[in-house]
């Protein structure tokens, strides 16, 4: 048994204050039994920690608080660390040096509880990374995933290929948005005014050790085969064309590519002792593979039927190499395409379907679906939030995510390792902005990863997280102001009654599969869309929207209108125009009004516009035809209102 002064061990505590009971703790513990009385301590409470063998899991702990003091039982140093984080939270509130008497038994629901940091689009300081690790430790998160490479910049020094950091880590423009809109060139490190940066191996080893002391593993990501424009600008011979600024995918038919990847990964694994090495694998265009002689020869030699199988060949081969070093690979769910490598772990981001498919094949999975776990979406009303990629993902929507779905077979659930919060930084330029986007939403994911689902409660979580955010701000963190949250679009909270509500809708153009919303009832269900097109209220089309509503009887009509949104980042645009037509028989339609768009397709902010016709007519059928303004992009409409 060892005696500890709590003040000496808790890495994240500020001044000790009123000792709340365990009802303030985040993530919520597995089991709490309150008892009468309090433990009153002097300058700081002392804690007796005892190690037991075989009774507790590696991150599990038990706390017993009596009037005489605090006792902790664990089986590992990680369990001790998490117990002390819980005690720290209990002592940080109020101004009385007391702890509520209670028994706490706690263990994580999932072994993997991750936070993703995109340092490629905008470089993050080492101090920023350490600061986030401190916060992660407070909330019992245990994996930090570093997105070290992407088109926007390579961020780790590699001895074998020095131009990855002397050239591919730098660009003329400071922001990703300016760089992406321009020629997407890279620059020499010594040029005046260039933006970028990279970590030395010594800095990364320092970070790994810093995280290790908080029981957090650092997982590096080296993107392949795509998102590799920066590599192929520095070493163009690794692309299919052999020319700089021509390719985004490695040439899989070129043996030099595998020599490059193996040397890079060897140096990466010398720095990062993590079990997992993330190899990306997402969004490969594969366009040049179809005509590249080397790639076509590789496909012929290996008996590969298509370019998906060519990517799978690469993933299999890289996995064998990584496995030979005693490590395992993780990839985004696209690595399923063409056949999944035998020991690969899948990080499911395009919904959860890929993860479920991988589980059914016997592979481990980490869930990070964009709808719930992508923190690059705005967390409050877009008109008052800093720039983001778009969409709307408030704290409540993050918190209610449940990783275990009914469709998952019980005998495969052990393959679900956990969850991860992802923040892509295309539009997140500064460290403080990134921090603002993480907290408190990452805290919600931390509780999902640790706490049992029956112990989760949204209202209670909001009660606990508000004072926690105050404490974080006192320690210098930039957090979202949850106490003054504006919330969802007001119309979306109330619904709408009108003459077309509940009436049949005839579709003359197909709905896009990903955005079905409420199916053929969407435009007359009385439900108004919120701040984002992905909320299952907006219906999406990659064509015109052309629908006819049957009012079931001839009625007097004075108004027909629908609201569209525009968010050009993900390719959502206003229609060029909307024609409103009416008919008494469903065959002969009369044009009532054409409503033209006046919002330019270059407007970058999230915009809404109601395309409405004011009329005085009688009709049974109302046709609402919205014309696409561009040959690309989506139209999104939530309701066709008739009055």
Is the bond leading into 557 cis (omega within 30 degrees of zero)? no
Locus of tokens 């009004």: 593
185 token code pair? 């060139």
Is residue 8 scored above 80 in pLDDT? no
More confident position, 21 or 616: 616
Is residue 537 scored above 60 in pLDDT? yes
Structural domain range at position 67:
2-106
pLDDT tier, 68 (very low <50, low <70, confident <90, very high otherwise): very high
The DSSP H or E segment spanning 220 is strand 217-224
More confident position, 494 or 327: 327
19 token code pair? 């000792």
Please state, for a pLDDT cut of 70, what percent of the chain lies above it: 97
Is residue 110 scored above 90 in pLDDT? yes
Do 164 and 232 sit in the same domain of this protein? Answer: yes
C-alpha–C-alpha distance, residues 397 and 47, integer Å: 38
Do 438 and 524 sit in the same domain of this protein? Answer: no
Do 94 and 145 sit in the same domain of this protein? Answer: no
**pLDDT, tens digit (0-9, with 9 covering 90-100), for 270-303:** 999 999 999 999 999 999 999 999 999 999 999 9
Do 98 and 120 sit in the same domain of this protein? Answer: no
Is residue 523 scored above 50 in pLDDT? yes
In the 3-class helix/strand/coil scheme, how is 290-352 assigned residue by residue?
A: HCCHHHHHHHHHHCCCCHHHHHHHHHHHHHHHHHHCCCEEEEEHHHHCCCCCCCCEEEECCCC
Do 91 and 156 sit in the same domain of this protein? Answer: no
- For residues 8-28, average pLDDT: 61
pLDDT tier, 570 (very low <50, low <70, confident <90, very high otherwise): confident
Do 285 and 218 sit in the same domain of this protein? Answer: yes
Please provide the average confidence, as pLDDT, over all residues in the chain.
94
The DSSP H or E segment spanning 473 is helix 458-474
**pLDDT, tens digit (0-9, with 9 covering 90-100), for 24-62:** 999 999 999 999 999 998 878 889 999 999 899 999 999
Distances (CA, A) of 362 to 16, 342, 402, 573: 48, 9, 21, 41
CATH number at residue 557: 2.60.120.260
Strand order in the sheet with 31-40: 2-5, 46-51, 69-74, 61-66, 98-106, 31-40
Which of 9-13, 131-135, 294-298, 554-558 shows the lowest per-residue confidence on average (mean pLDDT)?
A: 9-13
3-state secondary structure of 456: coil
Do 49 and 117 sit in the same domain of this protein? Answer: no
Q: At what angle do helices 431-438 and 441-450 cross, to 10 degrees?
A: 50
Which of 18-27, 163-172, 447-456 shows the lowest per-residue confidence on average (mean pLDDT)?
A: 18-27
Do 231 and 310 sit in the same domain of this protein? Answer: yes
pTM > 0.75: yes
3-state secondary structure of 397: helix
Do 216 and 359 sit in the same domain of this protein? Answer: yes
| Main-chain phi, psi angles of 461, to 5 degrees | -60, -45
From 73, 106, 139, give the residue that closes a domain: 106
Which pLDDT belongs to residue 632? 79
CATH number at residue 90: 3.30.379.10
C-alpha–C-alpha distance, residues 516 and 421, integer Å: 26
Is residue 6 scored above 70 in pLDDT? no
C-alpha–C-alpha distance, residues 174 and 213, integer Å: 34
Do 237 and 368 sit in the same domain of this protein? Answer: yes
pLDDT tier, 12 (very low <50, low <70, confident <90, very high otherwise): very low
From 484, 518, 549, give the residue that closes a domain: 484
Which pLDDT belongs to residue 10? 41
From 430, 455, 484, give the residue that closes a domain: 484
**Residue 493 burial (10 A CB sphere; 0-12, 13-18, 19+):** exposed
Among 352, 445, 422, 441, smallest CA distance to 146 is for 422
Which pLDDT belongs to residue 94? 65
**pLDDT, tens digit (0-9, with 9 covering 90-100), for 464-478:** 999 999 999 999 999
Do 182 and 197 sit in the same domain of this protein? Answer: yes
The pairing of strands 545-566 and 590-596 is unpaired
C-alpha–C-alpha distance, residues 448 and 444, integer Å: 6
**pLDDT, tens digit (0-9, with 9 covering 90-100), for 224-249:** 999 999 999 999 999 999 999 999 99
C-alpha–C-alpha distance, residues 614 and 620, integer Å: 16
CATH number at residue 224: 3.20.20.80
Do 525 and 569 sit in the same domain of this protein? Answer: yes
The DSSP H or E segment spanning 458 is helix 458-474
Among 330, 355, 143, 306, smallest CA distance to 224 is for 330
Give catalytic residue positions: 150, 227, 283
Which pLDDT belongs to residue 18? 43
- For residues 564-578, average pLDDT: 93
Domain count, the chain: 3
Is residue 95 scored above 80 in pLDDT? no
**pLDDT, tens digit (0-9, with 9 covering 90-100), for 331-358:** 999 999 999 999 999 999 999 999 999 9
């Amino acid at each position: 048994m060892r005696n500890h002064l709590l003040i000496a061990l808790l890495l994240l505590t500020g001044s000790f204050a009123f000792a709340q009971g365990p009802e303030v703790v985040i993530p919520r513990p597995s089991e709490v039994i309150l008892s009468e009385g309090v433990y009153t301590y002097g300058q700081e409470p002392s804690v007796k920690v005892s190690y037991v063998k075989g009774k507790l899991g590696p991150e599990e702990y038990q706390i017993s608080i009596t009037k005489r003091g605090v006792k902790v039982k664990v089986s590992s140093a990680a369990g001790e660390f998490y117990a002390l984080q819980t005690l720290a939270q209990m002592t940080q509130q109020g101004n009385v040096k007391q702890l509520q008497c209670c028994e706490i038994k706690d263990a994580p629901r999932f072994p993997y509880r991750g936070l993703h940091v995109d340092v490629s689009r905008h470089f993050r300081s080492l101090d920023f990374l350490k600061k986030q690790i401190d916060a992660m430790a407070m909330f019992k998160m245990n994996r930090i995933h570093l997105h070290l490479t992407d088109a926007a910049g390579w961020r780790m020094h590699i001895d074998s290929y020095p131009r990855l950091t002397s050239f591919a880590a730098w660009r003329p423009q400071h922001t990703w948005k300016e760089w992406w809109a321009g020629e997407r060139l890279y620059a020499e490190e010594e040029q005046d005014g260039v933006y970028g940066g990279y970590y030395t191996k010594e800095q990364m080893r320092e970070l790994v050790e810093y995280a290790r002391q908080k029981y957090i593993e650092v997982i590096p990501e080296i993107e392949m085969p795509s998102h590799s424009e920066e590599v192929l600008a520095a070493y163009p011979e690794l692309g299919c064309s052999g020319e700089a600024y021509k390719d985004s995918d490695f040439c899989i038919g070129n043996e030099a590519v595998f020599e490059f990847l193996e040397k890079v990964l060897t140096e990466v694994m010398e720095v990062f002792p993590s079990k997992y090495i993330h190899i990306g694998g997402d969004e490969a265009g594969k366009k040049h593979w179809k005509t590249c002689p080397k790639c076509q020869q590789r496909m012929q030699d290996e008996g590969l039927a298509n370019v998906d199988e060519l990517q799978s060949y690469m993933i299999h081969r890289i996995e064998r190499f990584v496995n030979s070093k005693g490590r395992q690979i993780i990839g985004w769910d696209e690595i399923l395409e063409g056949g999944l490598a035998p020991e690969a772990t899948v990080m499911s981001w395009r919904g959860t379907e890929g993860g479920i498919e991988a589980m059914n094949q016997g592979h481990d999975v980490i869930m990070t679906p964009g709808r719930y776990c992508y923190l690059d979406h705005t967390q409050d009303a877009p008109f008052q939030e800093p720039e983001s990629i778009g969409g709307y993902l408030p704290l409540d929507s993050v918190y209610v995510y449940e990783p275990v779905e009914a469709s998952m077979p019980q005998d495969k659930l052990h393959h679900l390792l956990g969850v991860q919060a992802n923040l892509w930084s295309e539009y997140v330029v500064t460290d403080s902005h990134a921090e603002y986007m993480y907290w408190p939403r990452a805290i919600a994911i931390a509780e999902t990863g640790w706490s049992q689902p029956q112990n989760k409660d949204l209202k209670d979580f909001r009660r606990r997280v508000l004072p926690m955010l105050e404490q974080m701000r006192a320690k210098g963190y930039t957090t979202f102001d949850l106490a003054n949250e504006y919330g969802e679009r007001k119309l979306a909270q109330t619904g709408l009654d009108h003459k077309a509500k509940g009436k049949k809708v005839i579709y003359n153009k197909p709905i896009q599969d990903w955005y079905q919303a409420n199916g053929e009832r969407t435009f007359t269900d009385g439900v108004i869309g919120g701040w984002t097109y992905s909320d299952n209220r907006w219906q999406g089309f990659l064509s015109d929207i052309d629908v006819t509503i049957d009012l079931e009887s001839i009625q007097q009509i004075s108004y027909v209108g629908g609201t569209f949104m525009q968010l050009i980042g993900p390719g959502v645009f206003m229609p060029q125009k909307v024609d409103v037509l009416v008919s008494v028989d469903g065959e002969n339609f009369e044009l009532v009004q054409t409503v033209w768009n006046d919002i330019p397709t270059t407007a970058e902010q999230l915009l809404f516009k109601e395309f409405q016709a004011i009329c005085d007519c009688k009709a049974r059928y109302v046709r609402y035809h919205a014309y696409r303004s561009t040959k690309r992009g989506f139209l999104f409409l939530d309701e066709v209102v008739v009055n």
